[in-house]
Chain A
Amino acid sequence: MTLTKESLIAAIKAKIVDIAAQTGDDASELEPDDIIPATGLIDSTGLLDLLAWYEKTYDIPLSQEELTIDNLGSLTRMAEFVLRRKSLP
């Protein structure tokens, strides 16, 4: 399957919606440029789940230093980070 920015955003959002539901929150209204931690839709443990899934699904090991808002703070940034790491347009 070809990875595009749009498909990545959709897949990551679906995961966030799933994680948020575990604690009774609804993340279906999350916008691509919303800063995910600032929305309060998923907590630290949820973010850990998200990042573990992200690393495994897209096969991009992350270092602790890369876990920044600039790199991964929103759906758009997470999608663009995958494309950059895989040298995809």
Chain B
Amino acid sequence: MATPIRAPRINNNDDEVKVLAFDVQPGTLVKSGQIVGQIETDKAVLDVESPADGYVLGLLAKPDDVVKVGSILLWLGESPDEPMPEAPDEPKAGARALGETTAKARLLLSKHGLRADAIQPIDGRITVEAIEKHLAARGGSQSAVNRTMAPDRSPEPAPDVPGVAVSLSKEEKGMAATVLWHRDQAVAGYVEIEYDLAPWAEYAKRLQDEKGWMMSPLLSLMAWRLTQAVAKNPRLNATLLNGQRYEYATINLGFTIQAGEALYLAVVRDAGQMDEPTFVNALGDLQRRAAGHKLREAETSGATIGFSSMERWKVTRHIPILPPQTAFMVAHAAGRDGKGILGASYDHRILNGAQVVGALRHLARPATN
């Protein structure tokens, strides 16, 4: 006899829940207590557990569907070929006529601040291709503008004071998108530690003298050290996606570079696979091309962690804005009396202060003294 798994209640005030994902598919053998999917309300995300052993006969909802509490999400049977009961006990209420949304598509939707119901599905599914088609139809500049718009917020009223509207540059739009993601998505915290400047200064100077480099490698060396800290703790290299910690498979280090009026986040991809000299050269190359405004599009996107320094302006403390879908960005600043401040903004949804302080302590000294 088939057994239904129903949408559980999360909050007393919410009679509907949103289906986030299923971890099983028809034919899957599940055990009692096994997690079969996730649902959410505005306030919480909950794993749905199977109440019994059995084979999944079929799913009655799709990711992004909004269903009534108590409605059937899926049926379990004693054998995989058992027929699924035809009539669910009640219809889905408020279910949106949306196709399945793939995991990559959900990531892309979040990146662009888009809602799934704004996308025309392809073959009944919302895929990366469907989203890219949507963005292309709106034009490059329009999609860039969309990225800067916070979802579910009213447009700002026009100011009472007369003025002139000036279009934002591509870099300014990118900065606006970053700031809005930080405001609307991340729950940002900030911590800092004090550290001795001398070990890093001596290490960088020694290496610069040995190699005869024109540029001090100090910040590049510190950024490389950050990638090593992150490699030891993958939760630093992650974001929150649909109620789960999404740990990136690669470490892409975003490094802020001010070039004239433009502020770039140049990205060293696969930084975790690089040894120290390779990383220093790669970042140096990006920095130089950023100064000449010659960065390619792919070199300014995809950051999974960040490093920012305001030493140049003799700023002794600053709180960075988290780049979209990152959880950890280090703030380097000017030192004073032999001491410096290393800070970090972090997404408190997936990191806590102690974890961040651990990474900062790792960063506070070079690998070799």
* A residues at B contact (CB < 8 Å): 23, 37, 43-49, 51-52, 55-56, 62, 64, 67-73
Closest to B294 in A: A52
Cα A70 to Cα B270 with chains together (Å): 31
Whether A67 touches B312, Cβ cut-off 8 Å, given contacts A52-B288, A55-B292, is: no
Residue of A nearest to B311 (CB): A43
Quick one: which of B212, B215, B260, B290 contacts A44, CB cutoff 8 A? B215
- Render B285-304 as a binary contact track against A, CB cut-off 8 A, 1 for contact: 10110111100000000000
Check if B219 sits within 8 Å of A68, measured CB to CB: no
Pick the contact of B214: A43, A49, A56, A73 (CB < 8 A): A73
User: Chain B contacts of A62 at CB under 8 A?
Assistant: 288
From 210 to 227 in chain B, residues with beta carbon under 8 angstroms from any chain A beta carbon are 211-216, 218-219
Across the two chains, which residue of chain B brings its CB closest to A56?
B292
Residue of A44, A46, A49, A64 touching B219 (CB-CB under 8 A):
A44
CA A19 to CA B341, docked complex, whole Å: 26
Cβ contact of A37, chosen from B215, B281, B285, B292, cutoff 8 A: B215
Q: Are B214 and A69 in touch, CB under 8 angstroms?
A: yes
The CB with the most chain A CB atoms within 10 A, among B216, B259, B288, B290, is that of: B288
In the assembly, what is the distance between CA of A48 and CA of B293, in Å?
11
B window 263-301: CB within 8 A of A: 281, 284-285, 287-288, 290-293
**Residues of B contacting A73 with CB < 8 Å?**
214
B258 at the interface (CB under 8 A from A): yes
Whole-angstrom CA separation of A83 from B211 in the bound complex: 24
Question: By the criterion CB–CB under 8 Å, are B216 and A48 in contact?
Answer: no
Q: How far is the CA of A67 from the CA of B289 in the complex (A)?
A: 13
Q: A43-B312, A48-B287 are in contact. Are A67 and B292 (CB under 8 A)?
A: no
The CA of A37 and the CA of B285, in the complex, are separated in Å by 18
Distance in angstroms between the alpha carbons of A52 and B260 in the assembled complex? 11
Chain B residue with the shortest CB-CB distance to A50: B291
